[in-house]
Structure 1
Amino acid sequence: MGALSGVGVGRGIAVAKVLRMPEPLAPPSDEPLAADAGAEHERVRQALEGVAHELQARAAAAGGDAQQVLEAAALMAQDPAILDDVRARLDGGANAERATWDAYGAFRDMLTAMGGYMAERATDLDDVAQRVVARLRGVAAPGVPQSDEPFILVARDLAPADTATLDLERTLALVTEEGGPTSHTAILARSKSLPAVVGVVGLLSAVADGQRMIVDARAGTVVLDPDDASVAAALVERESRAAASSAPITEGALADGTKVPLLANVGSPKDAPAAVALGAEGVGLFRTEFLFLDSSSAPSVEAQTVAYTELLQAFPGKKVVARVLDAGADKPLPFLNDAHEENPALGLRGIRALRATEQILRDQLTALANAQAATEAELWVMAPMIADVEETEYFVGLGRELGLRTVGAMAEVPSIAVVADQVLEVADFVSIGTNDLTQYTLAADRQLGSVAAFQDPWHPAVLRLVGMLGEAGAKAGKPVGVCGEAAADPALAVVLVGLGVTSLSMSASALADVRAELLTVTLDEARERAARAVAARSAAGARAAAAA
């Protein structure tokens, strides 16, 4: 037997034979154009149209979150700017495949440089480019291979079009060589409740099709060629964990009865029914961007009031934490701030952009106050990217002026942890966004593959900042929650509680696994695991120490 380690997603176990994703198409040659540029331009146009139709068909079949991802990819195949760029390259003498490949490559590099939300779309471009080039070559695009038997899918990484349409009856687990805890594959694995291990260094050189494998997401390990005894033990443990995760829904709590409310992250009112069905005790992160990102102008107070009221009505008597518009710089909006910035991740975003265009913020807070008055939900409102107490005073004061009862700050910038005692003198609560907190603590763009290894919320530096916030919250007698992807990691959820976090918010699909994991420890045991993790010297060391 041989074992490899990576970042586990969920707490499930899978045992099956490996099925490897085929490698991407080889880059096109640099041979000069040998045909008529006009005819080749039409051939590329037809290929783009065919890919768009294919992705739209997959989107309709997939439904849900996957449908939105695939529809966005289809739009990338229909972007007229891409076709114009291809035509210019054809006129310059490039062949059709090279012109298409380079046009998408230039677009991808531009989005990657913008960081954040726009960089998330860059990864999808590679898959679209591969599909278009495959059509030009007259070959099948690389994709998930078919199998009549259950399998564990092994890949370098997975494209949205692949993960969105996985055969969930036969795909038992995902294992990738690249990616991290916030990668597209990890997020999708959580949404589909698939055990996964991502970022497994050396995976592809060690694994072959048909090889037997054990995937343990909780431990973040894959075992190659396990013996029969190991397989039998893994199957017993799998059933035990599955039974715990499918137990009747209860409130989040530790083994000693300590309450830890488990909340859901939602992106729009349509996400509410699923969250309620999966046992969410409220909403820990309501992303209000859905009303803004596709608009050429800011939505009216009336339109916002209707949308916010719809969501709050789904949670009568329960907490709903709404984050005001998190945009600017990396998510440029023409009515907020669309000025070019060399380093948008460190630019005018979050509360900074809202202060620069205060009327948009006032309108949003007014609409939230209207929804608060019209429903029985317990509305909490927070601002993104709060750096210090001065920004906290500004936002809390404005929120109170406009009628909001509970106003807090989102902790994503390391400086807020350093002055957490000052912030919690003013804010009613703090909620930690671990994705950005990790990015800024370790100076590692969370969308940049070259530094993906640093984008790990298990890093002791990140955990220490969480501990500082938790300690300040305890001293002030105010709640400190986590609403980043870290809360969806069952093992890390225990550590976060041990660091003083009072509530956890996550994708609704992760609630059952986290609920089950919390019930295995007391508060003292969670604190002991947290102390071991904080004392470690690396993210991997923290994982191992917490599990010891």
Structure 2
Amino acid sequence: MTDDAGAVDRGLRGLGVSPGRAAGPVVRMAAPPVLPPPGTAHSERTVGEGLAAVADELEARAARAGGAAGEILEAQAMMAADPMLREAAEDLVKEGLDPAHALDAAFATHREALVAAGGYFAERAADLDDLRNRAVAAVLGLPMPGVPDPGHPFVLVAEDLSPADTAGLSGDVLALVTEKGGPTSHTAILARGRGLPAVVACEGALGLAEGALVAVDGGSGEVVAGLEPGEVARIQAEAAAERTRLSGSRGPGRTADGHPVKLLLNIGSAADLEVEDLGAGAEGVGLFRTELLYLGRRSTPGFDEQVAAYAAVFRACPDVVVRTLDAGTDKPLPFLDLPDEPNPALGIRGLRVDRLRPEVLDTQLAALAEAARATGTEPSVMAPMVATAAEAAAFAERARAAGIARVGVMIEVPAAALLAAEILAEVDFLSIGTNDLGQYTFAADRQHPGLADLLDPAQPALLRLVELCASAGRTAGKPVGVCGEAAGDPRLAPILAGLGVTSLSMSAVALPAVREALAGHTLEACQELAREALSGRRYQRSAVVTCGPGRGGP
């Protein structure tokens, strides 16, 4: 990271989850509100008013953030507005607790239930902690906790960041460093979406002194402390020059010898499709997450409303891959009235919702077909969480009967990757969601800080599943793309191209670096990188998260 041979001795190592380099003074996240002793807390709001204030603030942030950040914040707002949570706290008030302690106790009970449920619900426990802190602050009349604003550029250091924190980052934040989190955590996803260098699972980060000058490398995962002002200025200048260079990147995705790899965008609505994104070389949309239309609803969006939303996207960009509703687990939708499950991550989610509520998919497919007809476009439509060839065939039949010409499925379950050839016999394309595929392959909770290395998309086992899909695609003459977080990683782009992936879909900010990474390698060089990655010879990052302060990694 620096020219100083002794830099590692004054550094920390974590998991680099958002490439880029930055340097500046450390500012630590403000502590959550202190709960006064029972009987001494002065409440300025009732339980209901406090929770409503939190929900309103999060909904306002969601509207401002848009995209993936907006979706996450909408989900948090729904958790704050949960009537069961409010009723539990109000019952405790009736028993004699003040609103602050009643909220604290109610959130603690809900947190225990989430952790006990495991899977995706356990992942949401950290979100619930953030909501608790906000609600307690609201009833006590204190400022809601959040990102500090020192009035100058800084490196934000925290134990972890909530979706609300990450979505509300100001332009003064140079980089993120957290002690918890993993490569598919909300912090990682939103940092990549904003182009902020980020290092997570960084043991000892909270020991960095307030105001200490540090350098952060979001690629290698290295955090170097004890810099001199001259070092900070040099790194900042180099990072600015790199951003300027990448800002001039244009054109479609190509290797150095001209092999095409389409570069596509991940979006949540038409608002995410800025003209400059497409002009900068995005060749279409590889993942249109339709959940945004459904979040925060107490009833299913109607046919006409769906047609209007989908048509707005198709008019802005005719080359779109749509993912049908991906609900369940971390995307709870009250109107679906899904049953409680002992292990929701392995239960009714994604396409499996159709087993209980087939009319939801029927309406969505009809609306997509009508939007395509009205705009004269031919979108591709894919289903999430497909596990068998039979499920793929059934979805394809439904979609084609509705008027969808080009049908595909997402590969997020190892069983589907193993059956890629059979599935491709039923559909027109595959799109690999590396976030869930990694979680299910390694049986590793996406939010568990001690398992962050297992969710690294450079893991050879995960890449071998990607290779199975790409090989099946070559044999069938059908495209196979990647739309998980791995797609926006410039270090992995040449490897994925070498495996035979035909497209990469990512946030707009990641496009230039991925384009440049592909252009820096011939197809043969990409294939050699892929062979090394599959063998495990190139994989070093698993060791990084085991290194504590001062040990410097491998």
Query: TM bucket by the smaller chain?
Result: 0.7 to 0.9
Cα 1:124–1:541 shift into 2, 3 Å: closer
Asked whether the equivalents of residues 16 and 220 of structure 2 are also in contact (C-alpha less than 8 Å), the reply is yes
Answer whether contact 2:410 2:433 (CA < 8 A) is retained.
Answer: yes
Asked if structure 2 preserves the Cα contact closer than 8 Å seen for 1:533 and 1:543, the reply is no
Q: Give the deviation of 1:46 after TM superposition.
A: 5.7
Task: State whether residues 266 and 483 of structure 2, in contact with CA within 8 Å, keep that contact through their aligned partners in structure 1.
Answer: yes
Relative contact order: is structure 1 or structure 2 higher (C-alpha 8 Å, sep ≥ 6)?
2
Mean Cα deviation higher: 253-262 or 235-244: 235-244
Q: 2:312 aligned with 1:310, yes or no?
A: yes
Could you tell me how far 1:283 is from its partner in structure 2?
0.8
Tell me if 1:15 matches 2:23. Answer: yes
**Shift in CA distance, 20/199, structure 1 to aligned 2, threshold 3 Å:** same
**C-alpha distance in structure 2 between counterparts of 1:196 and 1:389, whole Å:** 38
Residues 167/363 of structure 1: CA separation in 2 closer, same or farther (3 Å cut): closer
- Mapped partners of 2:250, 2:339: distance in 1: 48
How far apart are residue 246 of structure 1 and its match? 0.6
The answer to whether the 8 Å contact 2:24/2:174 transfers is: yes
Q: Does structure 2 conserve the Cα–Cα contact (< 8 Å) formed by 1:417 and 1:468?
A: yes
Query: Is 1:85 the equivalent of 2:100?
Result: no
The answer to whether the 8 Å contact 1:329/1:338 transfers is no
Once the two structures are superposed, the pairs formed by residues 139-288 of structure 1 within 5 Å of their partners are 141-168=144-171, 170-205=172-207, 207-226=208-227, 234-235=235-236, 237-273=238-274, 275-276=277-278, 278-288=280-290
CA distance in 1, matches of 2:289, 2:366: 17
Moved more, 424-433 or 76-85: 76-85
Partner letter of residue 314 of structure 1?
A
- Asked if the contact 1:458/1:542 (under 8 Å) is kept, the reply is no
Deviation at 1:91, TM superposition (A): 4.2
Q: Deviations over 1:74-112 (max 9, x none)?
A: 665565544432333244454554322121222344455
Change (3 A) 1:543 1:374: farther
Partner of 1:100: 103
Q: Identity percentage over the alignment?
A: 48
Residues 407-446 of structure 1: pairs in structure 2 closer than 5 A: 407-446=407-446
Other structure's SS at 2:273 match? helix
Which deviates more from structure 2 when the two are superposed, residues 322-331 or residues 41-50?
A: 41-50
Out of 243-252 and 447-456, give the one that drifted further: 447-456
Q: Which runs of 5+ in 1 are unaligned?
A: none
8 Å contact from structure 1 (residues 112, 448) kept in 2: no
Would the aligned equivalents of 2:251 and 2:280 in 1 still touch at CA under 8 Å?
no
CA 1:296–1:93: 2 relative to 1, 3 Å: closer
Which sits farther off after the overlay, 255-264 or 74-83?
74-83
Deviates more, 1:534-543 or 1:189-198: 534-543
CA distance in 2, matches of 1:429, 1:230: 49
Which shifted more, 423-432 or 507-516? 507-516
Over aligned residue pairs, what C-alpha RMSD do you find? 3.4
Question: Aligned equivalents of 2:543 and 2:466: distance in 1?
Answer: 16
Q: Structure 2 vs 1, CA of residues 359 and 21 (structure 1 numbering), >3 Å: closer, same or farther?
A: closer
Provide the secondary structure at the position in 2 that maps to 1:494: helix
1:6 corresponding residue in structure 2: 14
Secondary structure at the aligned position of 1:501 is classed as coil
Comparing 486-495 with 236-245, which one deviates more in the overlay? 236-245
Measure the CA separation in 2 of the matches of 1:308 and 1:105.
40
Q: Tell me the SS of whatever aligns to 1:173.
A: strand
Contact 2:249 2:280 in 1 (8 A): no
Aligned residue number for residue 465 of structure 2: 465
The 1:70–1:365 alpha-carbon spacing in structure 2 relative to 1, beyond 3 Å, is: closer
- What is the CA–CA distance in structure 2 between the aligned matches of 1:67 and 1:322, rounded to whole Å? 18
What is the deviation of 1:460?
Answer: 1.9
Greater Cα offset, 87-96 or 17-26: 87-96
Q: 2:181, 2:187 within 8 Å by CA — same for their partners in 1?
A: yes
Q: Once the 2 structures are TM-superposed, how far is the Cα of residue 400 of structure 1 from its aligned partner?
A: 2.8
Larger displacement relative to structure 2 (107-116 or 280-289): 107-116
User: CA 1:495–1:226 in 2, change beyond 3 Å: closer, same or farther?
Assistant: farther
Distance 1:54 1:416 in 2: 40
Give the AA of the match of 1:181: P
Whole-angstrom CA distance in 1 between matches of 2:265 and 2:477? 23
Distance 1:443 1:538, change over 3 A: farther
Residue 63 of structure 1: CA displacement?
4.9
Query: Is the 8 Å Cα contact of residues 10 and 490 (structure 1) preserved in structure 2?
Result: no
Whole-Å Cα distance in 2 between the matches of residues 165 and 331 of structure 1?
Answer: 21
Match of 1:490, SS?
A: coil
> Structure 2: which 5+ residue stretches go unaligned?
1-6, 545-553
SS at match of 2:431: strand
Q: Distance in 1 between matches of 2:186 and 2:492?
A: 19
For 1:286, the aligned partner's letter is: F
Q: CA deviation at 1:150?
A: 2.1
Asked if the contact 1:424–1:430 (Cα under 8 Å) also holds between the matched residues in 2, the reply is yes
Which of 116, 131, 135 is 2:134 aligned to?
A: 131
CA deviation profile, 1:203-252 (whole Å, cap 9, x unmatched): 223x1122221112222221222468865764564244213321142112
Query: In 2 relative to 1, CA 490–28 (structure 1 residues): closer, same or farther, beyond 3 Å?
Result: farther
Distance of aligned partners of 1:96 and 1:353 in 2 relative to their CA distance in 1, 3 Å threshold:
closer
Cα distance in structure 2, aligned partners of 1:527 and 1:50: 53
- Matched to 1:14, the amino acid is A
Q: How far did 1:436 drift? A: 1.0
1:306 is displaced (CA, Å) by: 2.9
